[in-house]
Amino acid sequence: MPLNVALLGFGNVGRALAELILAKLDILRYDYGIHLRVVGISTRSHGHAIDPTGISLRTALDAVRHGSRLDGLHQGASVRDTFRFLADCPADLVFECTPTNPYDGQPALAYVYGLLERGIHVVTANKGPVAFGYRELSELAARKGVGFFFESTVLDGAPVLGLGREGLPAARITRIRGILNSTTNYILTRMELEGLDFESALRAAQAIGVAESDPSVDIDGWDAAVKTVILANVLMGADLRPADVQRTGIRHITLSDIQAARAAGQRIRLICEAVRQPDGNVTASVSPQHVPLDDILAGIMGTTSLVDFESDAITRLTLIEHDTTPATTAFGMLADMINIMRGRHHVGLVRLNEDEDSDV
């Protein structure tokens, strides 16, 4: 039987995922027994397409590349909006990669909840639903016997959540520290290495597609705060929201600040941190910090990211992802789909109640 999938969102990540699926079709079939068929694609600006017999990804990619709509690939009654697309599309699994809302997670939170409620697997690269609804969504997925995975929400395709879930069983993580936002790190790197002021470095980031035309989510620390919340909630059993994070961005960092730090043998980096306090509660922060040059975080340049774990089992474990692209994010989504099809539906739930009293 084929695995019917739909793509909700067909921007840079969605299209990279489509290309990756095309490249990996034989591996999926022969190595993992996954006979994948795309039965729906939903876009913000190119319309919606549903075809239960299968949609040609190559045709869809060519259409969007040439600025055409996907309506010609659609079969059946017209689709007026995203909720109708989700209701009508006969998918077993939905790849959700719509833009993140760092303030309340909507409307993606409602999309994901509705899909899980109907017993449909969800793989998302959208940070919003995980930051605002991780416990509720995970518990719902468990009740419905479906998968809800989100590896690409923190470090693109790097298996940071999988490492914590499956690589550190029974470990009590006491601290997570890292550089999780590539846009701000790129800006700070260009300021230091090329002597650019903040606005010039920001324009350079926008010119190569690292920063959005409205970069406030990145430079004001919201993206980093959302990612920190996901790590704290999933891997440390916290129940935080982005507004709980003590957050300071890099908007007011000047070239003089960068040069003064360098003269003192330091670099400024936007550091994300989640710490388990003596009372067991987890606190989180995002802020520009002066990092000594001999600290591993000081060596993280450009769009490279890092996350560092401290635990009672392995004293310190560090994961670095170099020079990310939409293709690396897409890989994280593909890996999540494979793991769901391998039956690893509820792995994340082991952390939900780790601090509750035991009956033993």
Q: Which residues are catalytic?
A: 227
Task: Copy the structure tokens of residue 143.
Answer: 């009740």
As a whole number of angstroms, the distance between CA 204 and CA 123 comes to 32
Task: Copy the structure tokens of residue 178.
Answer: 């890292």
As a whole number of angstroms, the distance between CA 18 and CA 11 comes to 10
In the block, tokens 């095309």 appear at 22
Cα-based distances in Å from 314 to 174, 226, 295, 335, 337: 11, 26, 19, 25, 29
Provide CB contacts within 8 A for 252, sequence distance 6+.
Answer: none
Dihedral angle sign, alpha carbons of residues 357, 145, 30, 75:
negative
User: DSSP string spanning 254-320?
Assistant: -HHHHHHHHHTTEEEEEEEEEEE-TTS-EEEEEEEEEEETTSGGGG--TT-EEEEEEESSSSEEEEE
Q: Are strands 282-292 and 246-247 parallel, antiparallel or unpaired?
A: parallel
Q: Which element (helix H / strand E) includes 171?
A: none
Task: Copy the structure tokens of residue 267.
Answer: 């670099």
As a whole number of angstroms, the distance between CA 201 and CA 258 comes to 12
Rg, Å, the chain Cα set: 21
